[in-house]
Amino acid sequence: MASYKTPLRDMRFVYNELFDPKAIQALPGCEEVTPDLVDAILEEAGKFCEERLFPLNRSGDEEGCHFENGKVTTPAGLKEAYRDFYEMGWGALAADPEYGGQGLPESLSMMVEEIMCSTNFAFSLYPGLTHGAYNALVARASEELKQAYLPNMVAGKWSGSMCLTEPQCGTDLGLIRTKAEPQDDGSYRVTGTKMFITAGEHDLTENIIHLVLARTPDAPKGIKGISLFLVPKIQVNGDGELGQPNGVSCGSIEHKMGINASATCVMNFDDAQGFLVGKLNKGMEAMFIMMNTERLAVGIQGLAIGEAAYQGAVAYARERLQGRALKGPKSPDKPADSLLVHPDVRRMLLIQRAYTEGNRALAGWVATEMDHAHRNPDPRRRQEAEDFVALMTPVVKAFMTDTGSEMANLGVQVFGGHGYIREHGMEQYIRDARIAQIYEGTNGIQAMDLVGRKMPAHMGRYLRRFFHPVRDYLEAKEHDFTMHAFLLPLAKAFGRLQKATAFLAQRGMANPEEAGAAAAEYLRLFGLVALGYLWMRMAEIGLQKRDEDPLFYQAKVDTARFYFERILPQSSALFASIMAGSKCMMKFNDDAF
């Protein structure tokens, strides 16, 4: 059976030891975020998610959502869990106190998101979408809209959705056809069909606030003629009470590979009352605020599934007795040794562990910078943090979800045949994790975002926010002999990343297909180097503190070794692929496929 305990020790390590909790506490609005508070929140969140969400994960997958006469019913138990989730305040951690939120830092709330996703990925999408819609509205909606909608969203009474995709367009939103006709009262009438709308319709809340991309009648063609509209499922009266149903209906729900407890809807808008969010024809920019929140959240999903799959696999490997250690029985009194004695099983577990803890560190780094971007009083520090978050968003999204799926697959492999059986819960991780590589921009799109937008932005300014800390750290440790086992391979991999960057910057300028052809491998290389840097720093802490808690800190050092010896070498192969150029792909005859 899959099993899960909140990795509190490792979360505290990332929050308190790898990064600087005092720097977070020094930020405006974070004064009360003491180590004790952080501990208490993580513990309580863990308790709620383990006790209430995890038991619904398998049953929700088996039951799925129901669709009848335009109504969507979520699987048994979800409604009560959702209600209690918000009543206990878990849905409002990062929201602004002005709208009823708790104003806690992202670096803390992201960890709570991880716990929620590990225990129930499908459930997490309902609050997740609401939080994304909240972020876009906070940033771009008029004060009136904010006051009318945000408090109920923060309180969990109303939820949010994100309506981009249409049958003829997913990635290419310039092809959007949904129309928005201006009305005399300043509102719009929205008409069109959206598909793949997560949480588009469900029975968890009394209202659903859709953020809809649409075109006004005279809008320019393509991406520059798209605006963002707030379209409630049920109209909201001037007094803030619910009024008439709006022209919004759910046409059907999809039958999917996974995340079955999450309703994926076809949404029909038929002269629905909508309100412009932000400026006309600037919908993409406004939507990207939401999208970027979501992309980081999706990266966390990869991390979360990796953690859950790892825990399930370790528990099984401990219990399952099968075969004997290659050097002779380890438990001669038992009919067989545990799976843990087998090198190949340890290899799989350590890959999972190295990626999971590495991904958690990476998420922590980005979340910390998000807090600085939002709150630091120094505009220069804010800008630097914003640059870093912009740069790392595609890396977090794609690298952490690709590795998340790999870890889910390893979890099943450790279980052997039992992993393939639904009731054990391990194969669900594969099915659930798979969507994270696709939605909110496929991982191929993330890679293009990295090489095509983030890399060249402001003459490489974003890149420096990553390259400089890594370079400075390597220089600082140059004469530290205790760190040489990490320093040399990291320096080598980092060198490859720098060379690949220069190569793509130069070649991509002349021929964008060169950058496109190498993008996926470049993003992977970027992620590997980022984790290498973080693993070296974690190893350093481990070496310094291993007398304090040998089991924990020695494991950090040993996992870092594993990462450097068995995973980071991939950088050589990726580098070779990148440098091979695009010719072998682009000259391939279309008709020959």
Q: Is 335 in the site for a copy of itself (CB under 8 A)?
A: yes
Give the CA angle between residues 549, 553, 557 to the nearest 5°: 155
Stretch of 83-91, 136-144, 453-461, 508-516 lying at the interface with a copy of itself (CB under 8 A): 508-516
With CB under 8 A as the contact rule, which of the stretches 2-10, 99-107, 285-293, 555-563 interacts with a copy of itself? Answer: 555-563
Q: How far is the CB of 566 from a copy of itself (least distance, A)?
A: 5
Which residue in 176, 171, 168 sits closest to 283, CA to CA? Answer: 176
Minimum CB separation of residue 584 from a copy of itself in Å reads 4
Nearest to 178 by CA among 211, 213, 223: 213
Q: Which amino acid is at 336?
A: A
**327 binding a copy of itself? (CB under 8 A):** yes
Tell how strand 207-214 and strand 158-163 pair up. parallel
What dihedral angle (degrees, nearest 10) is formed by the CA atoms of 449, 450, 451, 453?
Answer: 50
Identify any residues that bridge with 330 across adjacent strands, giving them in sequence order.
none
Applying CB under 8 A, does 576 fall inside the site for a copy of itself? yes
Rule CB under 8 A: is residue 252 a binding residue for a copy of itself?
Answer: no
Query: What is the spatial distance between Cα 275 and Cα 289, in angstroms, rounded to a whole number?
Result: 18
The residue range among 98-106, 301-309, 310-318, 359-367 that interacts with a copy of itself, by the rule CB under 8 A, is: 310-318
Nearer to a copy of itself, 35 or 222 (CB): 222
- Tell me which residue has tokens 């070496």: 543
Give the one residue of 308, 348, 366, 487 binding a copy of itself; rule: CB under 8 A: 348
Instruction: State which residue, 40 or 175, has the beta carbon closest to a copy of itself.
Output: 175
CB 322, min distance to a copy of itself, A: 4
Cα–Cα nearest to 530, from 556, 567, 505: 567
Residues present in the chain in total: 593
Report if residue 481 touches a copy of itself, rule: CB under 8 A. no
Structure tokens at 488: 């040399």
- Answer yes or no whether residue 520 interacts with a copy of itself by CB under 8 A: yes
Rounded to whole angstroms, how far apart are CA atoms 53 and 60? 10
Q: Which of 51, 84, 319, 344 binds a copy of itself (CB under 8 A)?
A: 344
- The amino acid at 224: K
Q: Give the separation between CA 571 and CA 497, rounded to whole angstroms.
A: 8
Residues 6+ apart with CB under 8 A from 407: 305, 306, 309, 310, 351, 352, 355, 356, 433
The identity of residue 577, as a single letter, is S
Q: Which is nearer to a copy of itself, 217 or 343 (CB)?
A: 343
201 catalytically annotated: no
Distance in Å, CB of 91 to a copy of itself, minimum:
26
Binders of a copy of itself among 157-216, rule CB under 8 A?
Answer: 165, 168-172, 174-175, 196
Which listed residue (140, 434, 454, 465) binds a copy of itself by CB under 8 A? 434
Closest by Cα among 363, 369, 370 to 403: 363
| Given 77, 151, 444, 469, the residue binding a copy of itself (CB under 8 A) | 444
Interface size with a copy of itself, residues (CB under 8 A): 98
**Residue selected from 76, 88, 509, 585 as contacting a copy of itself according to rule CB under 8 A:** 585
Segment near a copy of itself (CB under 8 A); pick from 85-93, 127-135, 393-401, 556-564: 556-564
Stretch that binds a copy of itself, among 147-155, 250-258, 384-392, 470-478 (CB under 8 A): 250-258
439 binds a copy of itself (CB under 8 A): yes
Angle, in degrees to the nearest 10, between helices 106-119 and 35-48 = 20
Q: Which stretch binds a copy of itself (CB under 8 A): 99-107, 225-233, 384-392, 513-521?
A: 513-521
Q: Does 510 bind a copy of itself (CB under 8 A)?
A: no
Q: Considering the rule CB under 8 A, would residue 549 count as an interface residue with a copy of itself?
A: no
To the nearest whole angstrom, how small is the minimum distance from the Cβ of residue 572 to a copy of itself? 5
- Determine if residue 196 is left, alpha or beta; phi over 0 gives left, psi from -120 to 50 gives alpha, anything else beta: left
Interface pick for a copy of itself out of 50, 96, 181, 254 (rule CB under 8 A): 254
Of 349, 389, 391, 491, the one binding a copy of itself (CB under 8 A) is: 349
Do 107 and 368 form a contact (C-beta atoms < 8 A)?
Answer: yes
Which residue has 């528990």 as its token pair?
Answer: 315
Residue 489 CB neighbour total at 10 angstroms: 18
Among candidate residues 440, 514, 521, 540, the one labeled active-site is 440
N-term to C-term CA, the chain: 43
Structure-block tokens of residue 351: 């890959």
Q: Rounded to an integer, what distance in angstroms lies between the CA atom of residue 438 and that of residue 360? A: 21
Task: For a copy of itself, give the closer residue by CB, 117 or 367.
Answer: 117
From 323, 456, 460, 469, residue interacting with a copy of itself (rule: CB under 8 A): 323
Establish if 317 lies at the interface with a copy of itself (CB under 8 A).
Answer: yes
The distance of closest approach from Cβ of residue 457 to a copy of itself in the complex, given in angstroms and rounded to an integer, is 17
Paired strand residues for 248: 269
Catalytic residues: 440
